[in-house]
Amino acid sequence: MYLSNRAEILEEESRIFAHCVTQCELHHHDAHECLWVVKGRIRVQVVDEILLLQEGDVLFINKALPHATQSTEGDNLVLCLQHNFAGLALDTLPMKKWSLVQKNTLPTIKRLLAHLWWEQHYKADHWQQAQSSLLAQLGLLFTRYFPSTNTISTDSMESTLLMNDLLRQITLRYQEHLSLSLLAEERGLSEAYLSRYFKAKVGETFLRYLTLYRLEKSLSDLAQKPKKTISDIALDHGFPSVKAFNMAFRREYDCTPTEFRLKRESVNLVSTGQAYAGVDLVSLKQRIMPWLDKSFLYL
């Protein structure tokens, strides 16, 4: 899922871009990051914490923090701002943990992000000056309403390496007979400890997370390979039997793999390891238009 830890150096002082997340490996950069899930759902790892973001969610990531993203369904659209806000530290808090005052700032945050993308995309006269003004407003909002309370400890970084290793093993070996007891034995840890650790960090048991990952990986075969049998798809994605595959699939998607295949339209696939897929600009504009102040759109 998330492969190696790499640093990314931004050539621009700031950038905002829209993308369809597929799988972006663990990395960090010298900029704060703000993610707005405009459509779909994605999974985000920040240090050793795993977060599931749904449509409409916003997440902040402090600069220099190792993080990674992955799709949980093929069709997603994410607006990403990367900018180094001087003297600012941001906590990575899921929106459900925001205070009421913080939640009340959400429309303003989305409006500023929408206008930042609009200026970047159209580059009308004085667009850079407009972006500077928008970034200043966003920086003030972060400073005033989202003061940081967290510090990164050595233990956290060690925990990050362990979590990244576990997720990597799932990515590389999900087609095999993989169990938590096996991973614990390979790392010289107790299964009970690893079970508690994984549930605390991810919010799911190891078995459920592995099952969900296998199901997600099976979707492209179901949609794109009509001649491949359900039995072959089940075994190729680590399920012990067709019955186990059918039961897990129905529990998660409320239909059988065969029913999914019959009603599912063809989807665009990207190559393994590609971090981002293309963006439907028409869809993006439609979705951010409600957040734009029409009186300030200069074209």
H or E segment at 35? Answer: strand 32-39
Quick one: tokens of 155?
Answer: 């233990």
Burial of 128 (0-12, 13-18, 19+ CB in 10 A): exposed
What is 174-263's CATH number, 2.40.30.10, 1.10.150.170, 1.10.10.60, 3.40.47.10?
A: 1.10.10.60
Contacts within 8 Å (CB) and 24+ apart, 222-228: 222/257, 222/260, 222/261, 222/264, 223/261, 223/264, 223/265, 223/266, 223/267, 224/266, 224/267, 224/269, 226/261
Q: What is the pLDDT of residue 157?
A: 66
H or E segment at 28? Answer: strand 23-29
Residue whose tokens read 């390891």: 273
Torsions phi, psi for 233 (to 5 deg): -65, -45
For the chain, the structural domain boundaries read 6-151+274-296, 174-263
H or E segment at 139? Answer: helix 127-145
Which of the 8 DSSP states describes residue 126?
Answer: T
Query: Model's pTM, two decimal places?
Result: 0.65
pLDDT along the chain (299 residues), means of 10: 36 79 77 94 86 94 83 84 89 89 96 95 91 96 84 64 84 92 94 91 86 86 89 95 94 89 56 51 91 77
Query: Residue 265 CB: number of other CB atoms within 10 A?
Result: 5
Which of the 8 DSSP states describes residue 225?
Answer: -
- Are 176 and 238 spatial neighbours (Cβ–Cβ below 8 Å)? yes
| Cα 240 to Cα 211: distance, rounded to the nearest angstrom | 11
- Are 194 and 226 spatial neighbours (Cβ–Cβ below 8 Å)? no
| Cα 263 to Cα 35: distance, rounded to the nearest angstrom | 32
| Cα 49 to Cα 1: distance, rounded to the nearest angstrom | 14
Fold of 6-151+274-296: Jelly Rolls (2.60.120)
Helix-strand-coil split of the chain, %, nearest 5 = 50, 20, 35
What are the strands of the beta sheet with 58-61, ordered from one edge?
58-61, 32-39, 77-83, 14-21, 276-277
| Nearest to 235, CA basis, from 224, 251, 246, 250 | 246
Q: What is the pLDDT of residue 207?
A: 93
| Cα 206 to Cα 162: distance, rounded to the nearest angstrom | 14
Q: What is the pLDDT of residue 299?
A: 54
Q: What is the pLDDT of residue 132?
A: 95
Q: What is the pLDDT of residue 11?
A: 43
- Are 77 and 284 spatial neighbours (Cβ–Cβ below 8 Å)? yes
Quick one: tokens of 295?
Answer: 């009186």
